[in-house]
Amino acid sequence: MPPSGPADLQSPLLPDDPEQETAYDPSEKVHVVRVDSDLSDGAAAPPFSWRKLWLFTGPGFLMSIAFLDPGNLEGDLQAGAIAGYSLLWLLMWATAIGLLVQLLAARLGVVTGRHLAELCREEYPNWARTTLWIMAELALIGADIQEVIGSAIAIKILSNGLLPLWFGVVITAADCFIFLLLENYGVRKLEAVFAVLIATMALSFAWMFGDAKPSGKELLLGILIPRLSSRTIKQAVGVVGCIIMPHNVFLHSALVQSRDIDHTKKGRVQEAMRYYSIESTVALAISFIINLFVTTVFAKGFYNTPIAGSIGLVNAGQYLQEKYGGGFFPILYIWGIGLLAAGQSSTITGTYAGQFIMGGFLDLRLKKWLRALITRSCAIVPTMIVALVFDTSEETLDVLNEWLNVLQSVQIPFALIPLLYLVSQERIMGSFKIGPLLKVISWLVAALVIVINGYLLLDFFSNEVSGALYGTAVSAFTVAYVAFILYLVSHGFTAWRTSKLSKELVVGDN
């Protein structure tokens, strides 16, 4: 447990041990220079500055990649093909929910100077933090397999089927390390690469949107008017379920530490939170538009058609080509370019998240390239097996993708609950802890997301699991799973009660 600070502490304690694992070394951080209008003493946040907003821009866009990974794109195209335009309102509100969670993660990282994995290591007993670490790693591996396979599918499309899936996996793994080398040239250079990849996705899917010409009226009605039917409930659950990525919560709390912030001044911390809130909102607004492009293209082309239920990531490009034809530049290749950008960018952020998760939970003092090698190997080995086994079978690859979605859905409480517990603690956050209203809203949102994913898990296991042995195993897992969630909630409640009683005792003594 970290040492407690005074109740009126404006900025909570930062790591005291210079040897302790940190997200970024001081030499790696972006120096946020003072501007002419910045003459404050640090007690209050300085006036808004476009120059400073530019310097803080970056972490939010890296975070937004998880909203655009191949798993999300598959959810988009299936929602469009099966539900048409009717779930666009849900996509918008699900993105808003994701923004709330990511802003809380950024708040935690900015205020404490530590990321979620590090704080979990300090706040929970050995058995609990080990369990949380294993769960986070499993979620990351599941997401990584989807991302690498998505990138490999894109390479197969762009090579006209010449390069098999397993070869695409090898290329993606190698590319990931090449991109990571850019970090040696500074954080801003790497962020620029991600900006190019996001722009590539935006241009590719905007081009598809222009070719398909979806109905503007139906698009607006889909955003403004909530509609839900029993036929589209599974797609609705998928839209919400794939927005909260457990590893992305850990990632964002670490990425915001890439800027050099003076934590001794309350105004500087407030300033950082303000700029990160703006850039994260803009980044997720762009991700929403890109997801909207994909959903509406498939809604226009395949809604209410016999093949709507059979479209997946593997065959989507071919169906697009058959529906919209070649044109000036074949839509198959436009889809492939956008998918490749999504796969490449998400695999790199997945590697980043893996470094922070492993380093934070285990307090490893390894070189970053070695941590990247370890975390990348954990995903590449099972992905290569998947590529070799399922290369010729689209149906089995789709089934595998469903299981990977389930794997990530299972992990969501183990990132959300610790996050909400930590940002509510005055001992950890000082005067920056979230207020009662935001706390209630956050816990309601967390409960909603957990219930929705619980429905997805129940539906999946009721359809996929049969037999006494499997039933017993699933039942035992469910009991242990629910018990651990209840422990995390009770741990937070107990800490809150202890903190409240301590404050009452201090007031009574005075």
Is 426 inside any structural domain?
no
Asked if 219 contacts 296 with a C-beta cutoff of 8 angstroms, the reply is yes
Please give the helix or strand (H or E) that residue 313 lies within, else none: none
pTM above 0.85, yes or no: yes
List strand residue ranges (DSSP E) for 189-310, in order: 259-260
Residue 223 lies in a domain: yes
Q: For each of the chain's 510 residues, which pLDDT tens digit applies? A: 444 433 344 445 455 555 555 777 777 788 776 654 555 555 677 888 899 999 999 999 999 999 998 888 988 898 899 989 999 999 999 899 999 999 999 999 999 999 999 999 999 999 999 999 999 988 888 888 888 888 888 998 999 888 888 888 888 877 766 766 777 778 888 889 899 999 999 999 999 998 889 989 999 999 999 888 877 777 777 777 677 788 899 999 999 999 988 888 888 899 999 999 999 999 999 999 999 999 999 999 899 888 888 888 888 888 888 888 766 778 889 999 999 999 988 888 888 888 889 888 988 777 766 777 777 777 677 777 777 776 656 666 766 776 777 777 778 889 999 999 999 988 889 889 998 899 999 999 888 888 877 777 777 677 666 667 777 877 888 888 889 999 998 887 777 677 666 665 655 555
CA 97 to chain centre: 12
Which CATH number do you get for residue 245?
1.20.1740.10
Residue bearing tokens 């957990």: 450
Strand pairing class (30-31; 259-260): parallel
Write out the residue range of the structural domain in which residue 226 sits: 54-413
Rounded CA separation 369/180 (Å): 8
Cα separation, 253 vs 246, in Å, equals 12
What is d(CA 106, CA 500) in angstroms, rounded to the nearest whole number? 25
DSSP code of residue 77: H
Query: Does 306 map to a domain?
Result: yes
**Domain total in the chain:** 1
Strand, coil or helix: what is 94? helix
Enter the DSSP assignment of 256.
G
Residue 224 burial (CB count, 10 A): 10
502 inside domain: no
334 in a structural domain = yes
**Is residue 207 domain-resident?**
yes
- The rounded distance, in Å, linking the Cα atoms of 127 and 119 is 15
Cα separation, 265 vs 233, in Å, equals 49
What b-and-e string marks burial along 46-78, b requiring 16 or more CB atoms within 10 Å of the CB?
beebeebeebbbbbbbbbbbbbbbbbbbbbbbb
DSSP E strands: which ranges in 247-404? 259-260
Pull the structure tokens for residue 497: 């009660």
- Residue 373 is assigned to a structural domain of this protein: yes
Token pair 């909630």 in the structure block, residue: 489
Strand partners, 259: 30
Residue 142: CB partners within 8 Å, gap ≥ 6? 404, 405, 407, 408
**476 part of a folded domain:** no
Q: DSSP 3-state assignment of 63?
A: helix
